[in-house]
Structure 1
Amino acid sequence: MANDLQIEKLDRAFDHIDANHSGEIERDDLLGLGSRVLLGFGESPTSTKGKQLIDRFDELWSEIVEHADTDESGSISPAEFRTAMITAYIDGQKFDKTFRPAAVAIAALCDQNSDGAITLEEFQVLQTAFGTGDGDAIASFERLDSDANGSLSIDELVQAAYEYYTGGDPKLPGNHLFGPL
């Protein structure tokens, strides 16, 4: 059972995917988010990193659809999205199966020079794809940089995603992945 904080975060996640504000999401909407990330980093969807990201988002979509209480149209409402995310990732144990690989693919893409560190500038590019403003992105980066070294490791970013999409404790730093709630 999800708490109010988790519901609020899932609703924001739905809005990240529903870029055209239609009130429903489809596979193409999630892949569109992936495409916005790729475009931000100037990465081709046919490159190794680009293909990894698109493939992981496709797997993520399949998991969401599997747990959504939806009809055959392929569209998912906010309520159906909440149900699917709660069932698969909050109450279920599916994060490592499908969500972690997608988060790792995003983090690897962010790490443009493959040094294991994601800079504020790289993080801001990612946040722009999700529709997060610069002020919120900076605040988020500072909150997530747990060792205060001026960068995020891939593990720190993946942990933040885990906390954001599954965590119910209001003290978790990952709650602020996309800025203050």
Structure 2
Amino acid sequence: MAIDLRNHKLDRAFDHIDVSGGGEIEREDLLGLGARILVGFGESPTSATGSRLVDGFDGIWTELAPASDARISREEFHAAMVSAFVEGDRFDPVFRPAVEAVAALCDTDRDGQVGPGEFRVMLNAFGTAYDDVDEAFDRLDQNGDGSLSVDELVEAARQYYTGDDPHARGNWLFGPL
């Protein structure tokens, strides 16, 4: 069951990137996800915050497919994600900076927190259904203060992309599974 849950979450993550539904992704597809987030927040990819996001997504791609012109299938994506971020030690040096960059972009008022409206803009870029966003936010808000800290978002991403606990809050990162 744990492997099935992880595979389901990784399938969903692959689909966030493979918006054309072609069954393979390349670097530009992952950067396209980053571009959707940037557009949602009206941020330029060349600004400090935008560059940080692009660099973070580039780092993830390099971990998944060292050849920058590579195309990877769903199965290769699963294997690379598990190798690097579940079984490997690459989450903190590679994935965490990308999550922190997304959180910094979402924190439009620079208060160190991501509020419900900011969270909604982010999830819109990932294709989450509008009606699922509020419940996802509430489930991720560990301390119930009405906002998500960077640490809460990083932990949610860790649980989502690497975890196999069916009760983990991070499973709600993009709405119900």
Question: What band does the TM-score fall into relative to the shorter chain?
Answer: over 0.9
- Distance in 1 of aligned mates of 2:162 and 2:43: 29
Q: How many residues align?
A: 176
What residue number does 1:147 align with?
Answer: 143
Partner-residue secondary structure (3-state), 1:25? strand
Partner-residue secondary structure (3-state), 2:24? coil
1:72/1:107 CA distance change after superposition, 3 Å = closer
RMSD: 1.4
1:89 shift after superposition = 0.7
1:16 shift after superposition = 0.2
1:113 shift after superposition = 1.1
1:72/1:44 CA distance change after superposition, 3 Å = closer
The aligned amino acid for 1:50 is G
1:148/1:77 CA distance change after superposition, 3 Å = same
Partner-residue secondary structure (3-state), 2:71? coil
1:134 shift after superposition = 1.4
The aligned amino acid for 2:134 is I
What residue number does 1:163 align with?
Answer: 159
The aligned amino acid for 2:100 is V
- Distance in 1 of aligned mates of 2:149 and 2:15: 26
Trace 1:113-132 onto structure 2 (pairs within 5 A): 113-132=109-128
Is there any run of 5+ residues in structure 2 with no aligned partner, and where?
none
Per-residue deviation, residues 3-31 of structure 1 (Å, max 9, x unmatched)? 11111000000000001111110000000
Partner-residue secondary structure (3-state), 1:76? strand
The aligned amino acid for 1:37 is I
Using the size of structure 1 for normalisation, the TM-score is 0.94
What residue number does 1:63 align with?
Answer: 63
The aligned amino acid for 1:121 is G
Does 1:39 pair with 2:23? Answer: no
What residue number does 2:99 align with?
Answer: 103
Is there any run of 5+ residues in structure 1 with no aligned partner, and where?
none
- Distance in 2 of aligned mates of 1:123 and 1:73: 32
Partner-residue secondary structure (3-state), 2:65? helix
- Distance in 2 of aligned mates of 1:62 and 1:126: 23
Identity score, percent = 56
The aligned amino acid for 2:124 is T
Trace 1:72-111 onto structure 2 (pairs within 5 A): 74-111=70-107
- Distance in 1 of aligned mates of 2:138 and 2:35: 26
Using the size of structure 2 for normalisation, the TM-score is 0.96
